[in-house]
Structure 1
Amino acid sequence: MSLTTPTPEPTPDDVARGLAEFERHLAEQIPALPAVLPVETGGETKRVQRLRAEVAEAHLLADLQDDAAPLLLDTAKVRKRRKAAREAARLHELAQDPAMRAYQAARMRRLLVAAGMVSLSLALAWSTAGVQTFAADGAPAWSPSWVFAWLVEPFMSLALLVVVGARAYLGTHGQPIHSPTLVRIEWLFLALTLGMNAWPYLPGVAETFSVSRLVLHILGPIVAVAIVTALPIILAAFTGLDHGDAGRLTGLTYSANAHDPVRAPGPDVAHLIDRARTLIATGELPEVPSAYRLQRALRCGMDDARAVRDALNHPTTN
């Protein structure tokens, strides 16, 4: 049986010596760090340089931030909006021009006449079947009477369209036809069309009366009557439109003596003369402008433009 010698417990001196040897061993294994960090140019570290640059940048930004010049510049959105506003203003100004108002009225009048004539043609075409049933009078299909019955409504419709078309065309050119004879002819054709469409479906005539069938067959003639009645009234209203100065552009006469003005210059014309002389001085008008150029530049009536032209060409008459 073997005996082991107990290990003596370390004393504080042993512990201190062990720690010292351990520190010495670490010092031998790890190279010693420099006592002072390496310095850059000027004796400043990179961290100091970054902070200095950041501070300098902040000072520059603070100085530039007080400058309102960037706020005075228009962005793309502002320029787009300004362009749209300028365009809207010019379109509004153009819409107030008498010539443009007359052009728009003539265009709308032609559109309404075209739509009315198309609707009238469709209404008469709608009633063709009803007139054919009345004219055939029970004739067998494809028999001569049955075939010729299809021609009754077209030749009446063509005659009616001739009258209505002539009245519409002359009405759009300011020469409406006021003829009781033409009105009676229109109503005669429309009454025949309405009667022939409605007769086979009237109560007491039809074997089985149906309100819906009667309404469907008289719908075309009723629409035709409405259009023929309304179209002359609409055209008469267009003829009486007042477009401002545009209404005075025609029907004017000159004085027999070319040296006499069309009319004596009044206070308004005198103001226009001063404006015209200013425009001539600035080069916006030629030295001897025509009445048309004056009317466009001064936005006045042709009478006033002629008076201004005569006053500029013959100052002694002013």
Structure 2
Amino acid sequence: MKQPNFNSSTADDLRRDAEQAARVRTLSNHPDVVALRAEKVRTFVDTLVWLGIFLGMAFTMVNVQTFAAAGAVAWSLPWLAAWLLDPMVSLVLVAVLRAEQITARYQVHIGVWAHRTKWFAFLATYAMNTWRSWMHFDVAGVVLHSVPPVLVFLAAETAPVLRDRLTEAVTRAADHAFSGHAEPVQQPAPDTVHGDIAQPARPARRSPRKPKAARKLRGDYLAEARAAWTPGIEITPAWVRSVCPDISRGTSKNVADDLRSETTTEGLLTVKAAAERREEAAA
């Protein structure tokens, strides 16, 4: 039986395509490439969010000025002073959002007062925007003047979460690469030609893999951090990583948030009770 004659140039083209695809796949999963892509997405998201926030603030400024002027004569001192109310609230809100933009990049907890400030700025702006509509039971006016402040508030709350998730994506890519999970891509072996037929070379035998250690879950890290924590220690992602050396940055933040919520007034009693039970069991 006559064997088919394969074109050697076609095999060379396929080999080059395979090598090129292997290199592209390797570089696409490189943590630096992932970080660069995430940074581009972060910049695009920040631009759109800030644009929406400033447009919403510009819309609410007129309504707040009308509320604050309370029928004052145009260009009088009370009428001019009324224009300062909305920028006063908006500038504080922008300052908080800008601080969150930086802290979210490094997954640092900004504290409860930042959230309280945002809530107060939102409620104040919303009340001043919709006061007249509520007084006259104008449903259309309530809807019209509710959309901009509510959208600004939602953007202010969502933007830090989006930045935190983008940072966590970069961190997971780096942890995956440096923990040895990403296997190096082997280049295709050159074909061994027998007569007119290109016979692929046999792949080299792989050495048996070592059994992987049991993967720790978030609850395991939380238990280790809970056992190491004592009153007076500030719970931060960096501290969690110091007591759990093999934890990733993204998981350390989640564990720090969980442990911080446990150390409230009610949660602290639970932690103390658990510690007493451990001491009794050890005795």
Instruction: Give me the TM-score of the superposition, normalised by structure 2.
Output: 0.53
Percent of aligned pairs with the same residue?
29
The answer for the alignment partner of 2:140 in structure 1 is 212
Pairing partner for 1:161 from 94, 99, 116? 94
**1:170 paired to 2:103:** yes
Shift of 1:72: 7.0
The correspondence of residues 258-277 of structure 1 with structure 2, limited to 5 A, is none
CA contact (8 A) 1:102 1:246 kept: no
The answer for the alignment partner of 1:133 in structure 2 is 66
The answer for the alignment partner of 1:106 in structure 2 is 39
The correspondence of residues 205-284 of structure 1 with structure 2, limited to 5 A, is 205-206=135-136, 209-241=137-169, 242-245=172-175, 248=178
Q: 1:170 to 1:95 in 2, by over 3 A?
A: same
**1:193 paired to 2:125:** yes
CA contact (8 A) 1:167 1:232 kept: yes
Pairing partner for 1:143 from 76, 87, 93? 76
Q: 1:182 to 1:131 in 2, by over 3 A?
A: same
Shift of 1:268: 7.8
Counterparts of 1:166 and 1:116, CA distance in 2: 15
Counterparts of 1:144 and 1:108, CA distance in 2: 46
| SS of equivalent residue, structure 1 residue 177 | coil
Once the two structures are superposed, residues 151-186 of structure 1 have per-residue CA deviations (whole angstroms, 9 ceiling, x without a partner) of: 2111211111001111112212x1433301111011
| SS of equivalent residue, structure 1 residue 194 | helix
| SS of equivalent residue, structure 1 residue 138 | coil
Counterparts of 1:158 and 1:211, CA distance in 2: 30
Name the structure, 1 or 2, with higher relative contact order (CA <8 Å, separation 6+).
Answer: 2
RMSD: 3.3
Shift of 1:219: 1.4
Q: 1:90 to 1:216 in 2, by over 3 A?
A: farther
Counterparts of 2:109 and 2:148, CA distance in 1: 25
Matched residue type, 1:154: P
| SS of equivalent residue, structure 1 residue 140 | coil
CA contact (8 A) 2:29 2:173 kept: no
Shift of 1:83: 9.1
Counterparts of 2:151 and 2:31, CA distance in 1: 35
CA contact (8 A) 2:104 2:160 kept: yes
Instruction: Give me the TM-score of the superposition, normalised by structure 1.
Output: 0.48
Larger radius of gyration: 1
Runs of 4+ in 1 over 3 A off after TM superposition: 71-74, 81-93, 244-249
Matched residue type, 1:139: A
Once the two structures are superposed, residues 202-229 of structure 1 have per-residue CA deviations (whole angstroms, 9 ceiling, x without a partner) of: 1xx22xx432222121211101110111
